[in-house]
Amino acid sequence: MSAAALHVRGLTAGYGPVTALRDVSLDVPEGACVAVLGGNGAGKSTLLRALSRTLAFHGGAATAGTVTFAGRPLHGLPPDRVVVAGLCHVPEGRQVFARMTVEDNLRAGALTAARGGRAAAVRRVHELFPVLAERAGQRAGLLSGGEQQMLAVARALMASPRLLLLDEPSLGLAPLMAARIADTVREINAQGTSVLLVEQNAALALRLASHAYVLEVGEVAIEGPAGELAASDEVRRRYLGVVDEQAAADAPAAAVPHLARWEDA
Amino acid sequence: MTTFAELLLGGVALGSVYALIALGFVVIFRATEVVNFAHASLLLAGGYVTAVLHDDIGFWLALAVGVAGAALVGAAVEFLVMRRYRGRDHSVLAIVTIGVDILLTTELARRIGTDVLSLGDPWGDAVVTIGSVTIAQTRIAAFLAAALLITAFLLAFRFTSWGVAMRAAAESPSTAALMGVRLGRVSLGAWAVAGGLAAVAALFLTVFPTPGLERTTSLAALKAFPAAILGGLDSTTGALVGGLLVGVTESLATGYQGDLTFLGRGIGDLAPYLVMVAVLLIRPAGLFGTKELARV
């Protein structure tokens, strides 16, 4: 009951007449790292917005289903109560406050935190991301893409969340930077924060996660332990870009060009 | 030269009062992206409360109640009216504020009638003479009060959690919500602060050499519009510079009216708008405003 586990049951959400998520159920056990994979428009970002209760900002709404975290229902709460409950959502595309300094961005992340905890939280994120300490006085808009992503994650950590919702942290980053972000996510998870990771970069996500769900057109198509999914032909073909001859013969239409990036990322 | 110095100082003092009004305007715009056309009526409300109460409870207390009252009216407008329209188009909200302004101004104008109310300020028509330059005490008080309030506001905006929440909400409401910022509170706070600043400005718009609070005082407050707009609607620095620019322009244009008769009378009232148009022709986003940037 008190374990900080997230349970989503039958979640349905959409934007006006368009249903983006249909009857989605998933679990994030305490301390776990769970990945959600899927292509563009599969409903990954909608899922995270539904969890952080910010769908309304994008013209959407959750219409059915329940979300409980640590035994408490989250559906129906305003976004700030969700943050207080221990969920922090790092939105897609980083969304740092470009006109504010790095330091002020971190302060914005700590607005719900107790005053005394702020110094400790700053120390923690500066240890994880030393570059943010160097750039404390700089405007966030002047950081590189990778540094902005670090700042976005650090800003969310300032609220000391128990569950971190990450929306495509590797989006638009060079492979080396994506790998660094992945290392940090692993470290954050090892420090005891659960992670729900939404990614298009399936290879990266499956290496980090212990369990994974594949969303297709708003529904959970496949789920299972990350290792099993990584080994499954279907996932390899569709999301890992691995085409062996047998698979290619099975589905000539779905043949994807071999992309080396996914292998050495 | 003496005339010029007097006009300049008077203009700076007047400009700092406009800056106070413009600042409230900018605060609401930044926090909610709404152009608040009801600002002048908030000012009138604050001034009216002070004018009514100062005989009974003394000037300073009356001023405090006036500031609190205007802040309360601002908060009430946000809570009772603007909140119902949240998420609507910003232009719809701006038009709603016009409606609020008409309602408030009409009621206050009815109460004030044709009277000219004194706010009971302690300065009266006393002047200070430095060398050959004479300046009204009220102008000095206006400048000092405005400078103090603006400094306090900017420090709070920069260093307090309230300021961080406000700036975060101004930059991206949806991301700010992810940080746990309560947007309703930010917007409520912005309206209250704007109301309070407007009430102080009401005092200094109605003291000597102005006869007092009239129902047309809200028209004088409208000069803060060009101040806010020419500074850039979303810039606090812009509000200050714009306010000063408008104040000095008005003061000089009025003072040298005799030499400008070829332009007709009343050029002083017109000058702020001329400056605004000239600035916008060259810098459409205002002097310090953020240019509209779309990132794909």
Q: What is the predicted pLDDT for the residue at A265?
A: 44
| B175 at A interface, C-beta within 8 A | yes
Helix (H) or strand (E) holding B136, with range, is strand B133-136
- Say what the alpha-carbon torsion angle A55, A58, A64, A70 is, to the nearest 10 degrees: -10
Size of chain B, expressed as the number of residues it contains: 296
| A15 at B interface, C-beta within 8 A | no
Q: What is the predicted pLDDT for the residue at B50?
A: 92
Chain A residue nearest residue B175, CA to CA? A95
Would you say residue B293 has pLDDT above 70?
Answer: no
Q: What is the predicted pLDDT for the residue at B68?
A: 95
Chain B residue nearest residue A82, CA to CA? B180
> Considering only CB atoms, which chain A residues are within 8 Å of B182?
78, 80
Distance in Å, alpha carbon of A105 to nearest chain B alpha carbon: 8
> Considering only CB atoms, which chain A residues are within 8 Å of B165?
108, 111
| B87 at A interface, C-beta within 8 A | yes
Structure tokens that stand for A167 in this block: 């929306």
Furthest-apart CA atoms within chain A: distance in Å: 61
> Considering only CB atoms, which chain A residues are within 8 Å of B164?
100, 104, 107-108, 111
The 10 Å Cβ neighbour count of residue B37 is 19
Amino acid of residue A40: N
Q: What is the predicted pLDDT for the residue at A25?
A: 93
Q: Which of B87, B171, B178 is facing A100, going by the closest CB pair?
A: B171
Pair B134, B209: CB distance under 8 Å:
no
CB contact under 8 A, B174 and A58: yes
Pair A148, A132: CB distance under 8 Å:
no
Q: Which of A97, A107, A156 is facing B171, going by the closest CB pair?
A: A97
| A159 at B interface, C-beta within 8 A | yes
When pLDDT is averaged across residues B103-116 and rounded to a whole number, the result is 90
Domain ranges of chain B: 2-215
Pair A166, A90: CB distance under 8 Å:
yes
When pLDDT is averaged across residues B114-143 and rounded to a whole number, the result is 86
Q: What is the predicted pLDDT for the residue at A88?
A: 94
Q: Which of B178, B187, B236, B291 to mutate to test the interface with A (most CBs of A within 10 A)?
A: B178
Average pLDDT, chain B: 87
A21 Ramachandran zone, left/alpha/beta (phi>0; psi -120 to 50): beta
Q: Which residues contact A210 (CB under 8 A, 6 or more apart)?
A: A32, A33, A34, A225, A226
CB contact under 8 A, A54 and B172: no
Angle at which helices B59-80 and B90-112 cross, to 10°:
140
Q: Report long-range pairs for B101-106 (Cβ below 8 Å, ≥24 apart).
A: B101/B37, B101/B38, B101/B39, B101/B40, B101/B41, B104/B38, B104/B41, B104/B42, B104/B44, B104/B45, B104/B73, B105/B40, B105/B41, B105/B44, B105/B215, B105/B218
Q: Three-state SS for B135?
A: strand
Q: Which of B178, B180, B181 is facing A91, going by the closest CB pair?
A: B178
> Considering only CB atoms, which chain B residues are within 8 Å of A156?
178
Structure tokens that stand for A264 in this block: 């050495």
Of the listed ranges A213-227, B142-156, B187-201, B224-238, the one predicted with least confidence? B224-238
> Considering only CB atoms, which chain A residues are within 8 Å of B181?
80, 108, 111
Distance in Å, alpha carbon of A43 to nearest chain B alpha carbon: 18
Q: Tell me what ipTM this predicted complex has.
A: 0.82
Q: Three-state SS for B34?
A: coil
Nearest-angstrom CA–CA distance, A230 and A77: 36
Reported as a single tens digit per residue, the pLDDT across B257-280 is 777 777 777 777 788 888 889 888
Nearest to B286 by CA among B294, B296, B274, B277: B277
Show pLDDT as tens, one digit a residue, over chain A (265 residues).
447 789 999 999 999 899 999 999 999 999 999 999 988 888 899 999 999 999 988 888 999 999 999 989 998 899 999 999 999 999 998 899 998 999 999 999 998 887 778 888 999 999 999 999 999 999 999 999 889 999 999 999 999 999 999 999 988 888 898 999 999 999 999 999 999 999 888 888 999 999 999 998 899 988 999 988 888 887 777 777 665 555 445 554 544 555 555 555 4
The 10 Å Cβ neighbour count of residue B96 is 20
When pLDDT is averaged across residues B114-136 and rounded to a whole number, the result is 84
| A64 at B interface, C-beta within 8 A | no
Of the listed ranges A237-251, B94-108, B197-211, B242-256, the one predicted with least confidence? A237-251
Structural domains in chain A, sorted by start: 6-231 (3.40.50.300)
Q: Which of A84, A97, A159 is facing B172, going by the closest CB pair?
A: A97
- Say what the alpha-carbon torsion angle B32, B35, B38, B39 is, to the nearest 10 degrees: 90
Q: Which of B161, B164, B175 is facing A95, going by the closest CB pair?
A: B175
Q: Three-state SS for B131?
A: coil
